[in-house]
Every structure is written in C-alpha cells, then in structure tokens.
C-alpha cells in the first residue's frame, strides 16, 4: 500500500513539473531528491545515492559543508546584498586571497554569479584590451549558452539560435582517442594537428584575433585532457598573433585536479582566468582574474561591467571560506590520492568490460568513454546511458555526456571530501552496472 501511495505521489509531482516547468533540453532525472549532505543524496523514498558529480560539478567540498553553512547563516542575517558599487570586507578579502594563491602576474579580480557571466566578461575584456574581436575556441568546447559564451561553445546548443557573435573561429579539440592525426607508430600527433588548426585559423581570420578561450580539461566535450607540452606551444602561438589566453576553470579549478588550478599542470599562466562552480561550492559565485596591465588597459577604453549581483558580500564570504578550507585541509593532495584510487579502479574495469574504450582525466575529474564495438570503436551512447540509469537505480549518480561526434562519456567528479570507502563503493556499483547491462545487450 505504501509503495502504491509513493508511486502516486511521484506521478503527481512529475505531472506538475511537466505542466509548469519550461523544458530546457535536459530530461528530468527520474528521482526526486529531498536532501543532500556530504557526498550523499537522499530521494523521496529515503534511498541513499552516492554523488559522483558533485551536484552540477560544483559541490567541491560536498553538500552542506558545516563551515559553509555557518558562513551562509552569518551573512544572510548580517550582510547579504548591496548596491553594486558598495564593496565590502568579504569581497576585498576574497580578492586578496585569490591574488596570493594565483601565480603572478594574475593579481586583480572581481566577482559575478555564473560561469557564463564570467566568460562574457572575460571575452569583453579581451576584446577591449586588444582592440580586436575574433575569438578562437575548441570544437568540443563548452563555455556557457549566453550570447558570447554560447558563440564560443561548439559541443552543443548552437542550432536554431540565430547568428552567433561575429569573429568566432573553431580549433580542433585535442581528442587523443579519436583524432585522425597519427604518427607512424599510431600514437596521437597533436603537434601536426595544432599546425593544421592554426593554418585554418590564419586563413579564416580577418586580422582581428583577440583571444583563445579554452578549458585545461574539456569537460562537457568528453574529459579531454591537454597533452603535455600542448598548452606551452599554444601560448607561444597565441603570443605570435597578439592574442590573449582566457582559461575557463569552472570545473577544474580550486583543487579538483590535484593542483589549485589545472593550468598549473602545464606551467603556463593565462592572461585571464574565469572561475565559477567549484569556487562557490554549489552557490552562485564566479570570478574573473587578470593582470594589472590588462586591468589598466580595459579602464582606459571604458570597460563597463555592472550587474545586479556584482561583488555580492554573501557569496564572496563563501568563496573565501572555500579557498581557506582547500588550503588548510590539503584538498589538492586529497584530490590527487583519491583520484589515483579512482583511476586505478577504472583501469581495472576497462580490462574487465570491453565496452570501456578509454579512461582519461586528472585527479577527481575522470572520464570513461563507452564504445559499442570493440573493433571499430564506434561510440556507445545508448549503452552508456543504460549503464548510467542502472547505476542510479543501484545508488550511484554518475553523469554521462551524449553529444554528436563523441561517444557516451561518463564524467566522474565526486566531491574532494570523498573517502576511500566511498570510491570503492562507487567502483563496485559501476562494475555491477556494466556487468548487468552488457550481459543484457549481448542477449
């Protein structure tokens, strides 16, 4: 009887959702989450689900971290939101902390709401500073879906939206598993691919190259990590053309990959850095950081960025606490250790399940590419989705990206507070889900 009542309530809930919520192109999850705490989610039936996506890749320290809760409670009661030109101690403290953590010459920041907004601001700054308007981005990029960010996004969301911003140029994404660029021994030839990419950009450009915007690990594009040496060469090529590098670290920043910022793995410092998601630990906080020289140049030509929640004190206080915890608690080291454990477990699963074509990523941002044929390596998005659905039913939330031109790729990004036992639990559920689904597909 209780089960029937629950099913009736669930049906009524989704009926109201379908009636009153606008569809955004993302299907609703079949579970209704009523509570999130640490690395665990709880549904309407009080079933426990291990969160291997950190919410929307954001809850870096887990859900409802007690120190974050304390900061929110304090500032919602004392200092929540002001006129945008009224700067406060939390805002200046966060800017100062970021300046200390970031490598020089990145030393100046301001704070916004979302990743898309930070990208819009970064692109505008690059255009104003250089006096140019062309923006280059990877073919598997995802920087947001507002006008400027969406124009620099090639992995999804471009159809039927009308003209993009002028000056958008695509560059081949470093997709080692599927790139047609190969050396005689069959290994990935990213150097030749990069030469090809720049030759295409140089032919298309009207002579107004402003910036190359990139993620150090392309997440929505399929967890594509930049090969060693790639970013250094990219920096040289951009400097040749007078271009700035905008680094979008929405998902990779603040310790997730084993370093505070993923670009540090490559020993190259961008000209403009955009953070979001992980900086707010699930709250709407984003930042744009740059050099004193670029800040000066933008001021001289009249840079204006004025939004309702510019430099809000409440979210700035949260961001400051997040960075404090990450430094104090050795989060980068924890991400490295748990990431190695996760990676080792995934490699064992790859040996066991033929449909796992590739494992890639850094730290606690790992990808599993699913194939439908071991010989042809044909993408297996449907098989991957079935595994994802089975895992959710068994108590593991793991996101799979199914985009045209890419295989179904799992993005595994648990909170960096995840324990060794929880990593093993997630691997066990994945193993059982692959075994079950692959067995059914073979019938």
Query: How far apart are the C-alpha atoms of 27 and 19, rounded to whole Å?
Result: 14
Is 247 found in the same domain as 102?
yes
Is 15 found in the same domain as 114?
no
Q: Are 383 and 342 in contact (CB under 8 A)?
A: no
Is 75 found in the same domain as 16?
no
Beta strands in 121-195 (DSSP E): 134-138, 168-171
Does the structure show a pLDDT above 80 at 4?
no
Is 101 found in the same domain as 89?
yes
pLDDT tens track for 284-318: 999 999 999 999 999 999 999 999 999 999 999 99
Q: What is the mean pLDDT of residues 317-345?
A: 98
Is 405 found in the same domain as 336?
yes
- What is the domain range of residue 297? 67-328
Does the structure show a pLDDT above 70 at 193?
yes
Q: Which of 7-21, 86-100, 412-426 has the lowest mean pLDDT?
A: 7-21
Is 205 found in the same domain as 76?
yes
**The two structure tokens encoding residue 330:** 């050795």
Domain boundary among 270, 297, 328: 328
Q: Which of 396, 408, 421 has the alpha carbon at shortest distance from 53? A: 396
Q: What is the mean pLDDT of residues 389-398?
A: 95
Is 249 found in the same domain as 371?
no
pTM, rounded to two decimals: 0.95
**The two structure tokens encoding residue 62:** 């887990």
Is 344 found in the same domain as 299?
no
pLDDT of residue 440: 83
Burial readout 138-172 (b: 16 or more C-beta within 10 A, e: otherwise) = bbbbbbbbeebbbbbbbbbbeeeeeeebebbbbbb
Is 95 found in the same domain as 6?
no
- Helix (H) / strand (E) element for 249: namely none
Does the structure show a pLDDT above 70 at 355?
yes
Does the structure show a pLDDT above 90 at 159?
no
What mean pLDDT, rounded, does the chain reach? 94
| Burial of 359 from C-beta contacts in 10 A (0-12 / 13-18 / 19+) | buried
pLDDT tens track for 32-50: 999 999 999 999 989 999 9
């Amino acid at each position: 009887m209780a089960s029937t009542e629950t099913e009736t309530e669930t049906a009524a809930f989704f009926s109201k959702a379908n009636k009153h919520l606008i569809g955004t192109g993302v299907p609703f999850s079949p579970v209704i989450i009523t509570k999130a705490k640490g690395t665990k989610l709880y549904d309407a039936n009080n079933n426990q689900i291990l969160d291997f996506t950190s919410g929307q890749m954001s809850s870096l320290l887990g859900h409802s971290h007690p120190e974050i809760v304390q900061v929110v409670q304090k500032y919602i009661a004392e200092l929540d939101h002001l006129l945008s030109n009224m700067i406060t101690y939390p805002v200046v403290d966060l800017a100062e902390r970021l300046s200390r953590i970031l490598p020089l010459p990145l030393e100046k920041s301001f704070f916004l709401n979302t990743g898309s907004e930070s990208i819009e601001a970064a692109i505008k700054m690059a255009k104003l500073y250089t006096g140019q308007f062309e923006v280059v981005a990877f073919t598997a990029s995802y920087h947001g879906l507002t006008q400027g960010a969406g124009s620099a996004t090639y992995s999804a969301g471009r159809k039927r939206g009308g003209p993009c911003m002028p000056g958008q140029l695509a560059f081949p994404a470093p997709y080692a598993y599927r790139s047609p660029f190969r050396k005689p021994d069959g290994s990935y030839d990213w150097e030749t691919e990069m030469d090809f990419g720049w030759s295409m950009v140089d032919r298309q450009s009207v002579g107004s190259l402003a910036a190359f915007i990139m993620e150090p690990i392309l997440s929505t594009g399929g967890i594509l990590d930049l090969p060693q040496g790639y970013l250094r060469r990219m920096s040289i090529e951009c400097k040749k053309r007078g271009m700035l590098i905008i680094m979008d670290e929405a998902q990779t920043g603040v310790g997730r990959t084993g370093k505070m910022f993923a670009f540090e793995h490559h020993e190259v410092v961008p000209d403009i850095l955009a953070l979001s998601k992980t900086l707010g630990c699930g709250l709407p906080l984003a930042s744009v950081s740059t050099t004193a020289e670029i800040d000066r140049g933008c001021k001289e030509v009249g840079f204006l960025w004025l939004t309702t929640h510019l430099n809000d004190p409440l979210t700035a206080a949260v961001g400051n606490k997040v960075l404090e915890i990450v430094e104090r608690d050795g989060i980068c080291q924890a991400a490295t250790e748990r990431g190695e454990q996760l990676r080792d477990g995934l490699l064992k699963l790859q040996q066991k399940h033929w449909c796992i074509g590739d494992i890639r990523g850094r730290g606690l941002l790992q990808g599993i590419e699913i194939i439908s044929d071991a010989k042809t390596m044909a993408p297996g998005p449907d098989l991957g989705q079935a595994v994802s659905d089975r895992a959710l039913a068994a108590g593991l939330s793991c996101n799979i990206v199914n985009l045209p031109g890419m295989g179904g790729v799992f993005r595994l990004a648990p909170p960096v507070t995840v324990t060794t036992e929880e990593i093993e639990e997630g691997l066990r559920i994945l193993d059982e889900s692959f075994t079950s689904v692959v067995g059914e597909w073979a019938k």
